[in-house]
Amino acid sequence: NAGVTQTPKFQVLKTGQSMTLQCAQDMNHEYMSWYRQDPGMGLRLIHYSVGAGITDQGEVPNGYNVSRSTTEDFPLRLLSAAPSQTSVYFCASSYQGASGGYTFGSGTRLTVV
């Protein structure tokens, strides 16, 4: 049981490049979310999903796309990377319902130069 797996762990991009951050969970969780963490700003919600085929915007969705074709996978796409997207990205998942604390992946540290 691997939990929430994020790849890659580290990435350096040039401004304007695109890439996909991968997230997979093997716990059959309905809910999945992407957060970015910047110093002093806490965790800010980018996009979230309540099930396969359903996604919605969070607090800071601009510049990012998501899709949820399966329960297990929730990739985050950066369309045209900007230095402001330098951050640590966390994917998280939980069960639906009142008992649902989120399980976080170990994060992807992204630097855009």
Partner 1 sequence: GQQVMQIPQYQHVQEGEDFTTYCNSSTTLSNIQWYKQRPGGHPVFLIQLVKSGEVKKQKRLTFQFGEAKKNSSLHITATQTTDVGTYFCAGKKSNTGKLIFGQGTTLQVKP
Output the smallest distance, CB 58 to partner 1, in A. 7
CA dist., res. 58 & res. 31, Å (int): 13
Output the smallest distance, CB 42 to partner 1, in A. 4
CB atoms within 10 A of CB 77: 14
* 37/86 with CB nearer partner 1: 37
Output the smallest distance, CB 43 to partner 1, in A. 4
* Alpha carbons within 13 A on the beta-carbon side of 5: 8
CA dist., res. 94 & res. 35, Å (int): 14
* 14/97 with CB nearer partner 1: 97
* 26/59 with CB nearer partner 1: 59
* 29/81 with CB nearer partner 1: 29
Binding interface with partner 1 (CB under 8 A): 30-33, 35, 40-45, 48-50, 56, 58-59, 90, 92, 94, 96-107
Output the smallest distance, CB 70 to partner 1, in A. 16
Residue 37 CB-density burial (10 A; 0-12 exposed, 13-18 middle, 19+ buried): middle
Would you call the peptide bond into 61 cis, given omega within 30 degrees of 0 as the criterion?
Answer: no
